[in-house]
Structure 1
Amino acid sequence: MNGKYAILAFVFLVLGFLISFSYQLTKERKPNNTIAEEQWNKEYETRSLLIKQEESNAKLQKELKQKQEKVREFEKELKDQKQVYFNLVEDVEKYRMFVGEVGVSGSGIEITLEDSSYIPDGENVNNYIVHESHISKVVNELFISGANAVAINGQRLLNDSYFYCNGPVITIDGNQYPAPFVITAIGDPTVLIPALNIAGGVTDQLAFDNVVVTVEKKDEVKMEPVLQDKNASS
């Protein structure tokens, strides 16, 4: 009997030891589980914040793209308006140039019209001198060919200028100038000269009418603005 009690006591001792050890182990592991849970919560919170931030960034990027699109539209509008204003300013400058409000300079040509030096006996002198129609042909051809400004004997022609011949002189806006008649034009010489010299063109027509025509290229032609009032001067 004593042996049985001894064995039973030993069993209970071992069992108590195991229970005590299990409890102690569980007690020691519990804080680790708590730490792990807190760490997981922090990671979850961080991930949630990161997701929210990414969503916010995506939203901001979308808004930025929309703003950039509006900016591009505004820039295009401004560019178009700038081009319109530039064209208007350019047109105004052209009109000011045509009416003589501004001085102009540039490459161009010089055309000299002279009476014929030889008049056969018995011929009508009027058939061998420069007339208003001859000057008009040259001036019209120059403007049609793109001349920016034209002057006759230094008198600049304006949009409402008038001229006519009276014997050996020409009257331009009330001012008289003697022959020879020198017509200067500002424009591209490579365009103006061929336009005058085309077969059957102005130069050939004037030569047929016994007018001596000389065409010369000029690197620079200057024309001052017309400041005086023509009506007042007349």
Structure 2
Amino acid sequence: MKVNGKHVVLSFVCLVLGFIISYSYQLTQEEDNKGTDKQWERDYSIRETLIKTEERTLELQQELQKKQEEVSLIEEELAEGEQLLFNLVEDVEKLRMYTGKVKVQGRGVEVTLSDASYVPSQENVNNYIVHESHVFNVMNELFISGAAAVAINGQRITKNSYIICNGPVITIDGNQFPAPFVISAIGDPEVLIPALNILGGVKDQLVADNITVKMIEKETIILEPVIQ
């Protein structure tokens, strides 16, 4: 069997071509493996970063919630402090009002006590005029019924006030006033007037003592402070 040069060359070419194809395939496989390893490393790194980010986000959320709770507690304490301060200021204003230190204004009632217009002959005139006990009864009933401030003929009544009867006049804190006696009280008229009108109460007693009683509701009563 003869082997000519062409066959040898062709065989050699085929051998070289086969070697090249085999080498290229192996090289490609190695590159693919390397690429797969790098991709896996990138994916792993991204997952690790994502996990760490989520953990940090959770920590920050928990820290934020804690701070918000602290802020809420501080706001509650401030609100309680403001309410306490408001209550103290309100109490001080009430005390100043009760002691007659400040001018007050509001709705209320006006009760006028007048001597009897007619005194029968042979009767004691003292039984037909207003005495300090009558004024006291009206004033006390008004305070008991919730009056915030009371004045008699414009004279503000305080815890230190005194009332003395001197015949046809009464003396309030050293100032004399003749009848009629106008007792002004700041408070709820729907409470004060019924309290005076209760059956057998203050008004009935005054009428029984021959005192003329007039009561009116006032939308605005202004009581000046006590002059020291």
Same fold by TM-score, threshold 0.5 exceeded?
A: yes
SS at match of 2:210: coil
Structure 2 partner of 1:197: 197
Alpha-carbon distance in structure 2 between the residues aligned to 1:83 and 1:196: 36
Look up the match of 1:39.
Answer: 39
Cα deviation code 1:42-67 (max 9, x no counterpart)? 22212211110100110111111111
Query: Please, which runs of 5 or more residues in structure 1 have no aligned partner?
Result: 229-234
Deviation per CA, 1:137-194: give whole Å up to 9, x if none: 0000111111111000111111211111111111010000111111111111111111
**Matched residue type, 1:23:** Y
SS in 2 for 1:112: strand
Which amino acid in structure 2 is aligned with residue 198 of structure 1?
I
Give the superposition deviation at 1:14: 5.6
2:15 maps to 1:21: no
Aligned counterpart, 1:141? 141
Partner of 2:107: 107
1:66 partnered with 2:42: no
Deviation at 1:121, TM superposition (A): 2.2
Q: Mean Cα displacement is larger for which, 175-184 or 217-226?
A: 217-226
Query: TM-score scaled by structure 1?
Result: 0.88
CA RMSD of aligned residues (A): 2.2
1:33 Cα offset (Å): 3.3
Identity of aligned residues (%): 56
Runs of 4+ aligned residues of structure 1 deviating over 4 Å after TM superposition are 9-17
Does the CA-based 8 Å contact 2:155-2:226 persist in structure 1?
A: no
Q: Which residue does 2:53 correspond to in 1? A: 53
Task: Measure how far apart 1:93 and its partner are.
Answer: 0.3
In 1, distance between residues paired with 2:196 and 2:83? 35
User: Residue type of the partner of 1:141?
Assistant: E
Gaps of 5+ in 2: none
Distance in 2 (alpha carbons) for counterparts of 1:117 and 1:123: 13
Aligned to 1:232: none
Contact 2:107–2:220 (8 Å) recurs in 1: yes
What SS does structure 2 have at the residue aligned with 1:70? helix
Give the distance between the partners of 1:47 and 1:225, measured in 2 at CA.
Answer: 79
- Please give the alpha-carbon distance, in whole angstroms, between the structure 1 residues aligned to 2:113 and 2:159: 22
> Match of 2:118, SS?
coil
1:146-225 counterparts in 2 under 5 A?
146-225=146-225
